[in-house]
């Protein structure tokens, strides 16, 4: 964007000169485009289950008497299922917009074992139902990390939930946490000074993610093709994960082999004795 301003003298009579301001608004334009895209995707995603619910209700209303009990029950079950999908979608969209609008989150020292154990307790039943072994391997004596407990709980829920969803019966899901011994060149841009990091991994023996999809899976609403309609999901879970890990000023990434399994990992800074609770404003721009 180029702004041209005329500069007048004190009496505002004569033009003294011209000021030209050049502003780079690429980012602004990109953000606006991303926002419109998001709204158009959301409208589509919300309309689909709503349309399905309405069709089932209309059919029941108009032709209910001609249907068998079994058919009526099936219609109601599908409408109920679609209502659940709509609820999940609305909840995920609200989570994401809350995350994006709240710029300052307080990081507190916390024991990473606590959100891990809480997540495992929540998902153990689901894992048993699916005959998947769900366990944790957390290094003993880990130092506290700087994190936001509730947001991290959501990260674990999304990643463990996905791992269970995309793993077959007889498979394994393991949540690991260990102190990073030294920084790898790949991580060096996130590692400032002598900060130490705890690495958290959520590893599964599931269907894996092809190389072509590895970056896109973090995009809103992206779901790997051909498995979209068979499993529940909104395509927002990993965007929420990335957003939360961004607020911890570290990275989330994955390694995966199709047919063998996937490991998502992220790092959390160790709460050194000198770092006071709440001393790091997150994303305070």
Question: By the 8 A CB rule, do 147 and 108 touch?
Answer: yes
CB of 38 to ligand ADP, least distance (A): 14
Contact 119, 246 (CB under 8 A): no
Binding mask 35-74 for ligand ADP (x = CB under 6 A): ----------------------------------------
Which of these ranges, 17-25, 79-87, 145-153, 226-234, lies near ligand ADP under the rule CB under 6 A? 226-234
Q: Which of 145, 155, 157, 207 binds ligand ADP (CB under 6 A)?
A: 207
Binding of ligand ADP by 154 (CB under 6 A): no
- Determine the longest span between alpha carbons in the chain, in angstroms: 88
Closest CA to 165 of 266, 262, 52, 258: 262
Which of 281, 285, 275, 284 minimizes the C-alpha distance to 109? 275
Count Cα atoms within 13 angstroms, Cβ side, for 133: 8
Q: Does residue 168 interact with ligand ADP by CB under 6 A?
A: no
The contacts found for 18-24 with CB under 8 angstroms, 24 or more apart, are none
Q: Which alpha helices (DSSP H) does the chain contain, by range? A: 26-63, 69-101, 113-129, 149-165, 237-246
* DSSP for residue 130: T
Q: How far is the CB of 109 from ligand ADP (least distance, A)?
A: 28
- Between residues 85 and 248, which has the closer beta carbon with respect to ligand ADP? 85
Using CB under 6 A as the binding rule, whether residue 209 contacts ligand ADP is answered as: yes
Q: Which is nearer to ligand ADP, 81 or 196 (CB)?
A: 81
Site string for ligand ADP, 238-277 (x = CB under 6 A): x-----------------------x---------------
Specify the residue, 132 or 177, whose C-beta has the smaller distance to ligand ADP: 132
Task: Give yes or no for a contact between 142 and 198, defined as CB atoms under 8 angstroms apart.
Answer: yes
3-state SS assignment for residue 270: strand
| Contact with ligand ADP (CB under 6 A) among 49, 115, 171, 235 | 235
Does position 163 bind ligand ADP by CB under 6 A? yes
Q: Which residues are near ligand ADP by CB under 6 A? A: 158, 162-163, 166, 204, 206-207, 209, 217, 222-224, 227, 233-238, 262
């Amino acid at each position: 964007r180029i702004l041209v301003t005329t500069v007048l003298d004190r009496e505002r009579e004569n033009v003294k000169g011209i000021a030209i301001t050049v502003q780079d608004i690429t980012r602004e334009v990109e953000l606006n485009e991303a926002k419109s895209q998001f709204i158009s995707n959301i409208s589509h995603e919300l309309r689909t289950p709503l349309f399905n619910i309405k069709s089932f209700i209309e059919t029941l209303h108009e032709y209910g008497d001609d249907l068998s009990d079994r058919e009526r029950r099936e219609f109601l079950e599908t409408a109920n299922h679609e209502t659940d999908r709509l609820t999940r979608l609305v909840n995920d969209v609200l989570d994401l917009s809350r995350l994006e609008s709240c710029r300052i989150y307080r990081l507190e020292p916390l024991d990473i074992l606590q959100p891990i154990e809480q997540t495992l307790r929540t998902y153990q039943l689901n894992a048993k139902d699916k005959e998947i072994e769900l366990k944790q391997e957390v290094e003993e004596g880990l130092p506290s990390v700087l994190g936001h407990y509730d947001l991290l709980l959501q990260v674990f829920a999304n990643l463990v939930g996905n791992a269970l969803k995309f793993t077959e019966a007889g498979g394994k899901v393991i949540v690991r946490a260990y102190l990073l011994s030294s920084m790898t060149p790949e991580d060096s841009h996130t590692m400032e000074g002598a900060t130490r990091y705890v690495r958290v991994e959520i590893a599964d023996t599931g269907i894996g993610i092809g190389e072509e999809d590895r970056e896109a899976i973090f995009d809103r609403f992206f779901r790997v093709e051909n498995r979209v309609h068979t499993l529940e999901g909104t395509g927002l879970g990993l965007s929420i994960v990335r957003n939360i890990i961004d607020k911890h000023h570290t990275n989330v990434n994955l390694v995966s082999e199709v047919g063998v399994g996937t490991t998502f990992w992220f790092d959390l800074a160790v709460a050194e004795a000198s770092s006071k609770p709440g001393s790091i404003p997150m994303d305070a721009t």
